[in-house]
Structure 1
């Protein structure tokens, strides 16, 4: 399988630059099979899910950080810093830090930043940044990132500093600066745990009215957390799919999450990140059963190397509940890559947006469409969406893929 198998022409006018309002009037393409494609809006989702027999609607409740900072170098030149993840990997601790924290970042305009602090000030809040090893200057790491240490005054914690001084990290394909409205619009209404640098965009279609309608049919949201990294925008490596190095993202669950999953039979995942987490839960169980320990990061190809392991999703949940503490958080990082040929185990349907060409997200969607009977490839569905004038990417419309 080649990266070119996931390419298609996406005209710029099909890319949504702003969301519709209210959120629930976004269009929803329902795909049950190649011969059963219907067109709705998200307002119809409660009725559709009720007919589907859904008893668990899962969402990713991560919260997007205002992770883009525009700072001034000691020379007065402008510097753009994009915070990717804290160096210790735990966003909650880094954001609650009362004096400062260290992050892996992308830096634009830093070529001549050889010494001193970069800074930004708003009222009483002053934020300063410097390379983690000042004597070495700005050192580029693998992947073109940099390690920076931040310190501040005038605020209670690093999270407050980012809320006041940072900008929403809109995807590069929007080709515009973030606006004040993006602080709300590029955040799900159920966002809870800060740590992402990109939104779980399928969840952007839900608003309070839609959530109320879902609760009225007995479908309150089921929640988990995956902190979305900038790697979600990384295009597939040229050549064979197997040559692509998948990014790792941090998942956060609890014992009660596993209990809730175990009580459900027909789950719908809202978004690729939600599905990636639900599938990773299964492979964490298989990995532990095989190796006697949990991995620090669930490897990219574990699902294919251990595919013949005989364990149902329900048995995997039972196995994990014997291992996971009843209280506190269960966290792990996952690097699994879902591509055509992968067998989906955790859900009976996926709600997702229409994704970029040459993306790992499109690989995941292609795997789901295989399970829905689209043997001629994902392009069947995307051709319909383009012809029917659906809006694409983060602020665009969505689709519901019903798996066999």
Structure 2
């Protein structure tokens, strides 16, 4: 398929600036692939579609406050620093993006916080906006991470033009987030409330946790018409034995296995055996899923509504069927569903 197959007109007012007042009261569009039907529900109605021993696969990654603002030495120019990944724990080396990049050269120092107790030195250029920083901090590693937590802010997606608000720290995080390392939330999971998870648990639904640390590369635009030539950035991935056992047992028993989000789906599809079962893994994945694609593990999926020509939309199109997904997105625009990170949800069964 070609990039142009994934274009559609998305009105700006459908991009969600704020989440629903209550997590599980966002809207839910339900797509039945076999019947080719579309239903309109609330997210808390999700429980109607799952039975005892069905499995939900959750990505338990946790977003860290990756956006910092510092001042350049001598000039005092305000510089935004976006932490992408930690390169070396002992040396405090980080891969970052800087803005405005034209002002930042190797050897420059940046000062963070009112007391300027955190200093970073630019030691390398990686891309046009990318830099490698060495943080100069004498305290312990735990104290250093606390300092980053204190100075950093929640990295809301760029399409959200408003200022970060105190509630965003909690709402731009799933309630089951544990493993810190993502710079963006696995947004399909944002709709789950503690109450809904408890109701699913009481009904007998099993949960399997995987970890895929979402990087900014997930949101990189596709710039080639031939999708086979697009390269995804690598993201860190971990699937451990307990999750493998739960998922493989459910597959053997032909239960409903639901990937909560494109990140959970990408994680499990990155570690499939030749016999079609899930393997343990600890490493990285740059897997790019687009139509046509045969999925090996999940037979259901929860996802948000994605932007035109995005790799996320391509994955859900591969899962639901391109023509059916096109019809669903036309319906979503007509019915004014909210799109993107703080938007509404879709269940594909």
User: Under a length normalisation based on structure 1, what TM-score does the superposition of the two structures give?
Assistant: 0.80
Return the match for 2:163 from 173, 177, 196. Answer: 177
Q: CA deviation at 1:122?
A: 5.1
User: Is the counterpart of residue 277 in structure 1 residue 262 in structure 2?
Assistant: no
CA–CA distance in structure 2, aligned partners of residues 350 and 143 of structure 1: 36
Counterpart CA distance in 1 for 2:153 and 2:199 is 33
Partner Cα separation in structure 1 for residue 319 and residue 101 of structure 2: 42
Written as runs of structure 1 = structure 2, the 5 A alignment for 1:36-75 is: 36-50=37-51, 55-74=54-73, 75=75
Q: Using the alignment, how far apart are the partners of 2:257 and 2:170 within structure 1?
A: 28
Moved more, 200-209 or 146-155: 146-155
Deviation at 1:180, TM superposition (A): 1.6
The structural deviation recorded for 1:153 is 5.4
User: 1:12 and 1:77 mapped to 2: Cα distance?
Assistant: 32
Whole-angstrom distance in 2 between the partners of 1:363 and 1:177: 30
Q: Counterpart of 2:199?
A: 213
- How do 1:375-394 and structure 2 match up within 5 A? 376-394=323-341
Counterparts of 1:248 and 1:143, CA distance in 2 = 19
Aligned to 1:240: 226
Deviations 1:286-326, CA, capped at 9 Å, x for gaps: xxxxxxxxxxxxxxxxxxxxxxxxx3323xx4xx4xxx6xx
1:145 to 114, 127, 130: 130
In structure 2, the partner of 1:28 is 28
Aligned to 2:81: 81
Is 1:367 aligned with 2:318?
yes
Q: Judge conservation of contact 2:184–2:214 (CA < 8 Å) in 1.
A: yes
Q: Distance in 1 between matches of 2:261 and 2:153?
A: 24
Describe the SS at the equivalent of 1:183. Answer: helix
Whole-angstrom distance in 1 between the partners of 2:188 and 2:178: 16
Q: Which residue of 2 aligns with 1:288?
A: none
Partner residue in 1 for 2:289? 338
Q: Which residue of 1 aligns with 2:100?
A: 109
Deviation at 1:44? Answer: 0.9
Deviation per CA, 1:362-390: give whole Å up to 9, x if none: 110110112xxxx6252111001111111
Determine if the alignment matches structure 1 residue 399 to structure 2 residue 346: yes
Structure 1 355/54 Cα, relative in aligned 2: closer, same or farther at 3 Å? Answer: farther
- Name the counterpart of 1:191: 177
Once the two structures are TM-superposed, the CA of residue 103 in structure 1 deviates from its matched residue by: 1.1
1:159 shift after superposition = 2.7
TM-score (norm 2): 0.92
| RMSD over aligned Cα atoms | 1.9
The Cα of 1:106 is off from its aligned counterpart by 0.5
Distance 2:285 2:170 in 1: 28
Contact 2:56/2:257 (8 A) holds in 1: yes
**CA–CA distance in 2 between the matches of 1:14 and 1:336?**
29
Q: Partner of 2:14 in structure 1?
A: 14
Indicate conservation of the 8 Å contact 1:3/1:241, yes or no. yes
Secondary structure at the counterpart of residue 57 of structure 1: strand
How far did residue 117 of structure 1 move? 1.9
Question: How far apart, CA to CA, are the structure 1 residues paired with 2:333 and 2:53?
Answer: 28
Is the CA contact 2:36–2:324 (under 8 Å) kept in the aligned structure 1? no
- The answer (yes or no) to whether the contact 1:103–1:147 under 8 Å persists in 2 is yes
Superimposed CA distance per residue, residues 329-349 of structure 1 (whole angstroms, 9 cap, x where no aligned partner): x41111111111100111110
User: Which position in structure 2 is the counterpart of 1:118?
Assistant: 110
Task: Give the SS at the match of 1:341.
Answer: coil
